[in-house]
Chains A and B, each alone.
Chain A
Amino acid sequence: MAFFQFSSLHLDILKEIGNIGAGNAATSLSKLLNKRIDMKVPDVKIVSFDEIVELAGGADSVAAGVFLRIEGEAPGNMFFILPLPQAENFIRQMIGEEEFSFSNPIPNEMAFSALQELGNILAGSYLSALSDFTDLALYPSVPALSIDMAGAIIGSGLMEHSQAGDYAIVIDTSFNEDMGDTLKEVRGHFFLLPFPDSFKTIFKTLGVNEDE
């Protein structure tokens, strides 16, 4: 099966989904850390597997990735990807340890569960906003965390997409933590990757025909 033709209306709807979902998640993050979080306008792209890995920083770059499977009426996968310095920064703020670093040889259980919980909260708020907007029942799995090469993290979540073709539709919302005047270009990403068959369901529930 192939992806059907997307019109600009379809792409706008998917952007709106990213906007609503990630907007809600950014609010949760902002409350959790008591900081301003700048969210970018979502990007909806039809990308090759290599391109999606590039979006996450490149196959070899090390990132923290929280991965969830979405079950229910419009199944898919979701990634919350953070560059390492950004992940360290969030962990420091959540567990109150200024010195925390991934390069410390002694593994810090607390840090990992904090990051996993962060992923859980953000994905939960992303999905509940999405569920409200579309009126579809969507259930997140328990999140799994991996700190490794971006290629290995993302590549392991593209199985269902790869059965249907060599492309995936990604709803990508990136965000920056407001660090005052030293606004660094470290970006986190939410990738929402509905399975190919889920797009029909999403458009249908929003009252848009496939050929519109």
Chain B
Amino acid sequence: MNSIEVIKVGIADMRMVKSPNTIRTSGLGSCVGVVIYDLLKGIAGLAHIMLPNSGLAKENEFNHAKYADTAIKQLVRLLLAEGARPHSLSSKLAGGAQMFQFTSGSDMMRIGPRNVEAVKKELEVLHIPLLGEDVGGNSGRTIEFDPGTGMLHIRTVNKGTHEI
């Protein structure tokens, strides 16, 4: 019997996973972890997004996993290439916390909520239902998704663990 592998996704990174393997990203602060999956096919993709919009990029060639708008489009392309069906896709998301409270509120400090809004907007445009979310607050999150069950496991330092 093959052992189950946990695929790790870094910061501004995206990867695919097939059941029975699971996929994880660690230490989401203001970043957002978004999972798009086809439950019946047992495949999922996870992106660790840092910024809401690729319009913010100050570089010509950029990493698509870093921005909400480009990451979600890319995730869907990769999933379809792996055999997922467009109308069976669902999504879950976690993260977008505000780790530090500053009195002088520069826009960059509100980046967590802005990331969440941007991800939701993009999912809506692509008609991908959002079946669960754990966002905002001021705690870091480590998340792990099981494409076989569709459950997203969320761990925090101060508020324990739960599943959505």
Q: Which residues of A contact B (CB under 8 A)?
A: 1-2, 48-50, 53, 58-60, 62, 67, 69, 141-142, 144-160, 162-166, 196
Whether B101 contacts A144 by the Cβ 8 Å rule is yes
Per-residue contact bits, chain B 27-54, to A (CB 8 Å; 1 contact, 0 not): 1111100000000000000000011000
29 contacts between A and B (CB under 8 A): A50-B11, A62-B157, A67-B99, A141-B104, A142-B102, A142-B103, A144-B102, A148-B99, A149-B26, A149-B27, A149-B141, A149-B142, A151-B11, A151-B29, A151-B142, A152-B28, A152-B31, A152-B140, A153-B140, A154-B27, A155-B11, A155-B50, A156-B111, A156-B112, A158-B50, A159-B51, A162-B66, A163-B56, A166-B63
Contact of A151 among B56, B103, B106, B140 (CB under 8 A): B140
The reply to whether the CB of B97 lies closer than 8 angstroms to some CB of chain A is: yes
Most buried by A among B11, B59, B106: B11
Min C-beta distance of A65 to chain B, whole Å: 8
Q: Is the interface of B mostly helix, strand, loop or mixed?
A: loop
With a CB–CB cut-off of 8 A, which chain A residues contact B164?
none
B46–chain A nearest beta-carbon distance, Å: 14
CA of A34 to CA of B71 in the docked complex: distance in angstroms? 51
Chain B residues lying within 8 Å of A160, measured Cβ to Cβ, are 108
Chain A residues contacting B139 (CB-CB under 8 Å) are: 148, 152
Q: In the docked arrangement, what's the CA distance between A175 and B28, Å?
A: 27
Taking the nearest CB of chain A, how far is it from the CB of B125, in angstroms?
A: 23
Whether the Cβ atoms of A162 and B102 lie closer than 8 Å is no
Residues of A contacting B26 with CB < 8 Å? Answer: 58-60, 149, 151
Binding site for A on B (CB under 8 A): 10-13, 26-31, 50-51, 56-59, 63, 66, 97, 99-104, 106, 108, 111-112, 138-142, 157-158
Q: Which residues of B contact A152 (CB under 8 A)?
A: 27-29, 31, 97, 99, 139-141
Chain A positions within 8 Å of B108 at CB level: 159-160
Nearest-CB distance from B132 to chain A (Å)?
20
Q: Beyond the given A53-B27, A155-B27, A162-B51, please list 17 additional residue pairs across the A-B interface where CB-CB is below 8 A.
A: A48-B10, A50-B11, A58-B26, A59-B142, A144-B102, A152-B97, A152-B141, A153-B140, A154-B27, A154-B29, A155-B31, A155-B50, A156-B112, A163-B51, A163-B57, A166-B63, A166-B66
Question: In the bound complex, do residue B101 and residue A148 qualify as a contact, i.e. CB atoms below 8 Å apart?
Answer: no
**A148 and B30 in contact (CB under 8 A), knowing A60-B142, A163-B57, A166-B12?**
no
Residue among B29, B50, B141, B157 with most chain A CB within 10 A: B29
Inside 8 A of B142's CB, which chain A residues have their CB? Answer: 59-60, 149, 151
Closest Cβ–Cβ distance, residue A58 to chain B (whole Å)? 8
Cβ–Cβ contact A156 & B99, under 8 A:
yes
B59-A164 in contact (CB<8A): yes
The answer on a CB contact under 8 Å between A162 and B12 is yes
CB distance B102 to A141 under 8 Å? yes
Distance to closest chain A CB from B23 (angstroms): 15
Given A49-B10, A149-B157, also A159-B111 (CB < 8 A): yes
Are B157 and A2 in contact, CB atoms less than 8 angstroms apart? no
